[in-house]
Structure 1
Amino acid sequence: MSKNRRWRSAALTIMSTTLVLALAGPATALAGAAPAAPLNVAAAAAGGTAHSARPLVPAPTAHRPVGTTSVRLVDASRPDPWRADAPTRELMATFWYPADSPRGAHAPYISPKLSRALYDLDEPATIRTNAVADARPAAGRHPLILLSPGFGMSRSTLTALGEEFAARGYAVAAVDSTYETSVEFPDGRIESCLACGLEGKDPEFGAKSSRARAADLRFVLDRLTAPGHGGPVRGLSIDASRVGAAGHSLGGAAALEAMREDPRIKAAANLDGSIWIPAGDDTGRPALLFSAGVGASPEATQNWEDNWKRFTGPRYWVEMPTAGHLSFSDEHWLVDNLGLRDQLPPDTYRESFGTINGNRALAATRAYLGAFFDRHLLGRPAPLLDRPSRAFPEVRFTK
């Protein structure tokens, strides 16, 4: 079974049934349950146990103010790949970007309605973000990173990465591939996951989804860089010569495929996702593979070995041996910071998250992705990519 298929099931199990039971407890109805006391993010990262009133997305490591907005986009040039009666492709995207001011109300992490659709509970909707809703973008042209989440998972699970890159000076677009997860649109309707369940029946499912997601990312790039248009985010200017793509699980495969198809994408990173379409051998562009050690199957490792040989540009393969597949998404630090780590069955927790702390896994993911894109989009020194680091002893170079 592929990483994408196996871990989509684990994600939904942990963030719905198990999480509900842990929050509610055996004698308390969910509607009246109070969540377990959340860990303070900064203290947890340092090994502390201080508590705060509400969980907070871990603060970016850079200090620029961050703005965010979510936008509905319609690609009228192609039908929807998962819904035969839809003549156009309808998407939701969240944008994070450097803001010109830190003032304003912070955006919600996720709406209560979508939280219930995805996880069957409200608690994720109480998380605070670091980004100001609909803030005015900072002046200047910004490099761009396109993000794609894991199959069955929301773009919200890449919020911590989106805020990090925006604070570093990048514009970021995280795209929900409609009908591969629950997606909420501005009119209040929620489109469900029509593709869920197909991955076990169609041997071409992974390739089909990778191509559809790559097309989604390329369409968003078109909208952001089209000449003579204001773009989906008013006042946001993109440097079209500095574009990268990254994704988690199936989203990582899509990021590589988008780079293979589109010469505008200069570098791509895959966070622990099986590669469904053989990597192109003609791009010569940089690729980063970042894998988890816990739960890695021989088939998944062989998948990367086979594709590794086809990368002809700068290539990096790093691993967190103590991380699980979901450690590259927000779901790891979210579970940890809702105070649920010790309440989940040990085997279930370890299978999905490994043994590393969620905030620590996020710190490493931010650091290595940041070094990769800083080097290959901005031309900045990135010694973290050249040798093992004392700052991140939990990361090792596989290749």
Structure 2
Amino acid sequence: MSKNRRRRSAALTIMSTALVLTLAGPASALAGSAPTADSAPAASAAHPSGPRVPTPTAHRPVGTASARLVDSSRPDPWRADAPTRELMVTFWYPAKSARGTHPPYVSPELSRALYGLEQPATLRTGAVADARPAAGRHPLILLSPGFGMSRTTLTALGEEFASRGYAVAAVDSTYETSVEFPGGRIESCRACGQEQTDPEFGAKSSRARAADLRFVIDRLTGPGHGGPVRGLSIDASRIGAAGHSIGGAAALEAMREDPRIKAAANLDGSIWIPAGDDTGRPALLFGAGVGSSPESTRNWEDNWKRFTGPRYWVDLPAGGHLSFSDSHWMVDDLHLEEYLPPGYYRESYGSVDSHRALAATRAYLGAFFDRHLLGRPAPLLDRPSPRFPEVRFAK
């Protein structure tokens, strides 16, 4: 049975290169001023035709909005001359109506910065820009992408959660990927390269991202804030976090640091800070088998022993490290494999069908948060399912 792999080379080293569609791009963001929220670039013209983000499995209308948030309480961890931390966040949430404009996946400018290509900018999203939120208080899921990867690479997962009734906030890791701010300003990756020379890089990134996630919770639930999406009500008693690669490590770290986070999921990411043994809260580890190594297995085994709450470890044996992001289906649907270096597709995506990988990711994460945030039955977490023969229970 294949187990999770650490994937430092593919998650960090490869991600920090300029290879097309490694989804490692420059990251960044500039420091801002006092706590503010600005509207994101108005890239909301619908594409009348062309490929689109895979449709969510639920049928509830989904709204989306992006905002710039500035945390004036701390300096930026990657930029010494920035006294505040500036972030871009995309929100997905249950909407009252499916009518409206569907924003593009990324702007042409950001697509070039991230991938060196404009094809991803032709993708249509399924959510409606600035739609009115549905009534009620919604549980919140925070998402953190892999190193060098944009928050947009979790769009299919974000739209899925929103269609299930969750509010979702995907947070870009400033200076760990290319980030586009209001007005079209694009900041590049200042941290790229440090992962190869700094043995403490993984822990530093995990802590910085965990602080980002905690700040977003503050903005969405704190007194007098209400969040950047007008009319969106968050149930502060039901908050979860999930991430891909180092974003998964950050989700676990954020849960360790913040009792408001009730459950966390790690998609194929090394755990750079030993998991705490005192939370007693649920954790999901979802790994990919391609490229697994004894070192990566030990990383999860050592931390597995420290989880004292409900814990789950499942594996996608035929998958690759990037199968948990939009990168996999995007390469297939946009026919971009020809742009990849020889052997890169197999190394990063494995042999699993990209849409099956997405379906499994949506299903198992959905079951995990449904059980532990909403109290719903989730038998998918208890035993192998004929619905997903691609998935194996590692523990």
Given the two structures, how large is their TM-score scaled by the length of structure 1? 0.89
Q: Residues 367 and 378 of structure 2 are in contact (CA less than 8 Å); yes or no, is this contact kept in structure 1?
A: yes
Equivalent of 1:122, from 111, 118, 122? 118
Deviation for aligned residue 1:180: 0.6
Q: Is residue 7–residue 352 contact of structure 1 (8 Å, CA) maintained in 2?
A: no
The answer to whether residue 210 in structure 2 is matched with residue 210 in structure 1 is no
Match for residue 251 of structure 1 among 221, 229, 247: 247
> What is the alpha-carbon distance in structure 1 between the residues aligned to residue 207 and residue 9 of structure 2?
17
2:79 aligned with 1:83: yes
Equivalent residue number for residue 153 of structure 2: 157
Aligned CA RMSD, in angstroms, stands at: 1.8
Q: Residue 6 of structure 2 contacts residue 299 of structure 2 at CA under 8 Å; is this kept in 1?
A: no
Range 297-306 or range 251-260, more displaced: 297-306
What does residue range 366-377 of structure 1 map to in structure 2 within 5 Å? 366-377=362-373
Deviation at 1:300, TM superposition (A): 1.1
Code of the aligned partner of 1:71 = A
Q: How many angstroms apart in 2 are the aligned matches of 1:17 and 1:276?
A: 25
TM score, norm. by length of structure 2? 0.90
Partner SS for 1:267: strand
| Match of residue 327 from structure 1 | 323
Q: 1:10·1:352 contact (CA, 8 Å) conserved in 2?
A: no
Aligned equivalents of 1:335, 1:272: Cα separation in 2: 19
Alpha-carbon distance in 2 for matches of 1:384, 1:346: 37
Deviation at 1:5, TM superposition (A): 4.3
**Per-residue deviation, 1:53:** 5.4
Say whether residues 1:365 and 2:361 are aligned partners: yes
The residue aligned with 2:312 is 316
AA partner of residue 7 (structure 1): A
Kept in 2, the 8 Å contact 1:294–1:321? The answer is yes
Distance 1:152 1:81, change over 3 A: same
Partner secondary structure for residue 16 of structure 1:
coil
Aligned length: 367
Is 1:11–1:352's contact at 8 Å kept on the other side of the alignment? no
Q: Tell me: CA distance 1:13–1:350, structure 2 relative to 1, closer, same or farther (3 Å).
A: farther
CA offset at residue 231 of structure 1? 1.5
CA distance in structure 1 between the aligned counterparts of 2:89 and 2:316, rounded to whole angstroms: 29
Gaps of 5+ in 1: 20-51
The alpha-carbon deviation at position 374 of structure 1 amounts to 0.1
What is the CA-CA distance between 1:347 and the residue it aligns to? 2.5
Percent identity at matched positions? 80
Residue 23 of structure 1: aligned partner = none
CA distance in 2, matches of 1:255, 1:4: 17
- 1:341, distance to aligned residue in structure 2 (A): 4.4
2:11 to 7, 11, 19: 7
Equivalent residue number for residue 234 of structure 2: 238
Amino acid corresponding to residue 328 of structure 2 in structure 1: H
Distance in 2, Cα, partners of 1:323 & 1:60: 21
- Is the Cα–Cα contact under 8 Å of residues 137 and 234 in structure 2 kept in the other structure? yes
**What is the match of residue 148 of structure 1?**
144
1:220 lines up with 2:179 in the alignment = no
1:61 counterpart letter in structure 2: T
1:172 to 163, 168, 173: 168
Of 246-255 and 183-192, more deviation after overlay is shown by: 183-192
Deviation, structure 1 residue 75: 0.1
Contact preservation (8 Å) 2:21, 2:340: no
Q: Counterpart of 1:115 in 2: which secondary structure?
A: helix
Larger helix percent: 1
User: Which residue is 1:16 aligned to?
Assistant: 20
* 1:207-228 deviation per Cα after TM superposition (whole angstroms, max 9, x unaligned): 0100000000000000000122
The equivalent of 1:30 in structure 2 is: none
Question: Within 2, Cα distance between the matches of 1:59 and 1:325?
Answer: 22
2:134 is aligned, of 134, 138, 144, to: 138
Aligned counterpart in structure 1 of residue 193 of structure 2, from 173, 197, 200: 197
1:142 Cα offset (Å): 0.1
Indicate which of 173, 177, 181 corresponds to 2:177: 181
Q: Are the counterparts in 2 of residues 4 and 150 from structure 1 also a CA contact under 8 Å?
A: no
The answer to whether the 8 Å contact 1:12/1:119 transfers is no
Read off the aligned partner of 1:96 and give its amino acid letter: W
Matches within 5 A, 1:36-115: 54-115=50-111
Deviations along 1:84-120, one digit per CA (max 9) or x if unpaired, are 0000000000000000110001111111111011111
Cα offset for 1:356? 0.5
- Alpha-carbon contact 1:250-1:274 (below 8 Å) kept: yes
State the alpha-carbon separation in 2 of the partners of residues 17 and 389 from structure 1: 32
Q: Quote how far apart the aligned CAs of 1:177 are.
A: 1.1
Distance 1:198-1:148 versus aligned 2 partners, 3 A rule: same
Aligned-residue offset at 1:230: 3.0
Residues 47-105 of structure 1: CA deviation (Å, up to 9, x unaligned):
xxxxx952110000000000000000000000000000000000000000000110001
Report Cα offsets for 1:127-158 as digits up to 9, x if no partner: 01100001111110000000000000000000
Change (3 A) 1:196 1:343: closer
Distance 1:247 1:366 in 2: 13
Query: Which of the residues 282, 301, 306 maps onto 2:302?
Result: 306
